[in-house]
Amino acid sequence: MSFERATGSRNNCPASSKGWTVLELLIVLVLILIISGLLSLVTGRIARVRKNTECLLNMRMTGQQLLAHAADHNGRSVVAYYDVARSQRPGQSEVWHERLVRGGYLEKSQREKIVCSSYDPFSYDTAHSKAAMYTYGLRRFSGAATYDPAYQGSKVSNPSSYILLADSYSKAEKRQFYYLSWPGTGNAVKIHLRHDGKAHLFFADGSARALNKEEIVALNDGWSPGICHDDL
Using the predicted structure, report yes or no on whether residue 99 has a pLDDT greater than 90: no
Q: How confident is the model at residue 46 (pLDDT cuts 50, 70, 90)?
A: confident
Which of 22-36, 56-70, 140-154, 196-210 bottoms out in mean pLDDT, i.e. has the lowest? 140-154
Distance, in Å, from the CA atom of 67 to the CA atom of 221, rounded to the nearest integer, reads: 18
- Residue with the larger pLDDT of the pair 154 and 36: 36
Going by the DSSP 8-state scheme, the letter that residue 164 receives in this structure is E
Q: Which pLDDT does position 55 carry in this prediction?
A: 94
Distance, in Å, from the CA atom of 38 to the CA atom of 183, rounded to the nearest integer, reads: 44
Contact 177, 119 (CB under 8 A): no
Distance, in Å, from the CA atom of 104 to the CA atom of 85, rounded to the nearest integer, reads: 24
One-letter amino acid of 40: S
Distance, in Å, from the CA atom of 56 to the CA atom of 175, rounded to the nearest integer, reads: 18
Q: Which pLDDT does position 59 carry in this prediction?
A: 95
Q: 3-state DSSP call for residue 143?
A: strand
Distance, in Å, from the CA atom of 135 to the CA atom of 122, rounded to the nearest integer, reads: 9
Going by the DSSP 8-state scheme, the letter that residue 157 receives in this structure is S
Could you tell me how far CA 73 lies from the centroid of its own chain? 29
Q: Is 87 exposed, middle or buried (0-12, 13-18, 19+ CB in 10 A)?
A: middle
